């Protein structure tokens, strides 16, 4: 085969051991979201990949929202000051990755602090980035809320709905490009930043107050 996919989205705690089994086969490895149950495990997976000299990437399909990419290009990435991203799903643990992937793919990995706010099935992750930039990721459990985002610059605010995009087709295309080139086409620092935020958001210390990352 040309590549290997680890597909256990509901059980990220298995990804480290599955990675240990896959890497000796010597093929590029895609690990489905959520990459790891915590930041340390995510770092271990990448360390194992480096030891085996095997490229590894991970991503939510929401990284492949072309409508969002077009909006960012139109506004200018360096001009973005704040972003909000929304989504729904079965659980916070499994579906918070989606709005977080959207936020980090646009805002980058330089996150200073994170806070988790929860009101029943409604969750928010508040983020403070370098340069005074901010973001909010909303996760509505048990809801069919469309995946969407709002981006603010000093001049304007614009909205995009990602559900109209062929997200899974474009994710498959990204994975195939990765298998063909063998190059890690997603920044590891961004993947680990997402791990770090979700790890922090799961802690009691982050409920209702900022936790330094």
**pLDDT tier at 64, thresholds 50, 70, 90:** very high
What mean pLDDT comes out for the span 113-119? Answer: 95
**130: Cβ contacts below 8 Å, ≥ 6 apart:** 110, 111, 112
CA quadruple 17, 125, 99, 135: dihedral sign: negative
**pLDDT of residue 114 exceeding 90:** yes
**pLDDT tier at 194, thresholds 50, 70, 90:** very high
**pLDDT of residue 201 exceeding 90:** yes
Q: How far apart are CA 25 and CA 108, in angstroms?
A: 32
**pLDDT of residue 91 exceeding 90:** yes
Q: What is the pLDDT of residues 129-157, one digit of tens each?
A: 999 999 999 999 998 889 999 999 999 99
Share of the chain above pLDDT 70, in %: 100
**pLDDT of residue 71 exceeding 90:** yes
Q: Note whether 124 and 96 are within 8 A (CB).
A: no
């Amino acid at each position: 085969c040309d590549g290997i996919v680890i597909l256990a989205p509901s059980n990220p705690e298995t990804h480290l051991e599955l990675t240990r089994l896959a890497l000796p086969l010597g093929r590029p490895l895609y690990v489905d979201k959520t990459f790891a149950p915590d930041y340390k495990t995510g770092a271990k997976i990448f360390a194992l990949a480096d030891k085996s000299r095997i490229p590894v990437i991970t991503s939510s399909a929401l990284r492949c929202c072309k409508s969002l990419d077009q909006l960012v290009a139109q506004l200018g990435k360096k001009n973005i000051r704040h972003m909000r991203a929304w989504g729904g799903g079965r659980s916070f643990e499994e579906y918070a990755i989606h709005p977080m992937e959207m936020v980090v793919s646009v805002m980058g990995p330089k996150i200073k602090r994170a806070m988790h706010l929860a009101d029943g099935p409604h969750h928010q992750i508040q983020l403070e980035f370098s340069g005074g930039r901010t973001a909010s990721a909303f996760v509505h459990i048990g809801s069919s809320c469309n995946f969407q985002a709002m981006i603010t610059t000093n001049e304007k605010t614009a909205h995009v709905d990602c559900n109209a995009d062929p997200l899974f087709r474009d994710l498959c295309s990204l994975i195939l490009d990765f298998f063909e080139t063998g190059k890690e086409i997603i920044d590891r620092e961004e993947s680990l930043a997402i791990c770090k935020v979700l790890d922090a958001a799961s802690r009691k210390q982050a409920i209702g107050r900022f936790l330094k990352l």
